[in-house]
């Protein structure tokens, strides 16, 4: 278990396409454990592997109900709409308004490569969309409406 360095905006790893995970090796398991530690250390609600410099399709999210590991995630359905502020651990101190679906259904594999589906609303839906975007090199600032704002309160990784 270790805290990894979070890559910040301007680092080219944040703009790359991530590769599918074929098998959870010991190294991948360590990566996932480190990602969870790093997310908690930074007070984030989500973290994607490219944010720690690894080009793998892995995301961890915790919106308050415990950590969820997503390997090779895909969004199956999205509907509704929410409009609110969003931040990212790779853009510390910043936030912006981003429109997202209010309800998302996604599928992924867990740390034992068992398939699962998950549905989320509000913050979980937002976090799933935000983190999955990272796997394709997309950042919330690509989707923001209006200006990039200073985040003067508690940082949120959504």
The binding site for Zn ion (CB under 5 A) comprises 88
Which of residues 31 and 88 has its CB atom nearest to Zn ion in the complex?
Answer: 88
Which of residues 88 and 98 has its CB atom nearest to Zn ion in the complex?
Answer: 88
Residue whose Cβ sits closest to Zn ion: 88
CA 148 vs. chain centroid, Å, equals 19
Q: How far is the CB of 157 from Zn ion (least distance, A)?
A: 6
Q: Is 131 one of the catalytic residues?
A: yes
Q: 3-state class of 42 per DSSP? A: coil
Question: What is the CB-side half-sphere exposure of residue 91 using CA atoms within 13 A?
Answer: 22
Q: How far is the CB of 56 from Zn ion (least distance, A)?
A: 16
Q: Of 86, 131, 156, 157, which residue is the catalytic one? A: 131
Which of residues 69 and 113 has its CB atom nearest to Zn ion in the complex?
Answer: 69
Chain length of the chain: 158
Phi/psi for 66 (5° steps) reads: 100, 160
Helices H / strands E in the chain, number of each: 2, 8
> Catalytic residues, which ones?
131
């Amino acid at each position: 278990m270790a805290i990894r360095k979070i890559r910040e905006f301007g680092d080219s790893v944040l703009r790359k396409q991530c590769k599918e995970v074929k098998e959870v090796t010991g190294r991948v398991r360590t990566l996932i454990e480190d990602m969870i530690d790093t997310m908690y250390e930074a007070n984030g609600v989500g973290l994607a592997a490219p944010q720690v410099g690894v080009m793998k399709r892995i995301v961890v999210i915790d919106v308050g109900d415990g950590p969820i590991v997503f390997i090779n995630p895909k969004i199956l359905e999205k509907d509704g709409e929410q409009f609110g502020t969003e931040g990212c651990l790779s853009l510390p101190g910043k936030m912006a308004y981003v429109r997202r679906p209010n309800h998302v259904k996604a599928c992924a594999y867990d740390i034992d490569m068992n398939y699962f589906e998950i549905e989320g609303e509000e913050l979980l839906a937002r976090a799933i969309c935000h983190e999955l975007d990272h796997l394709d090199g997309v950042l919330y600032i690509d989707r923001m409406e209006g200006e990039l704002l200073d985040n003067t309160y508690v940082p949120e990784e959504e």
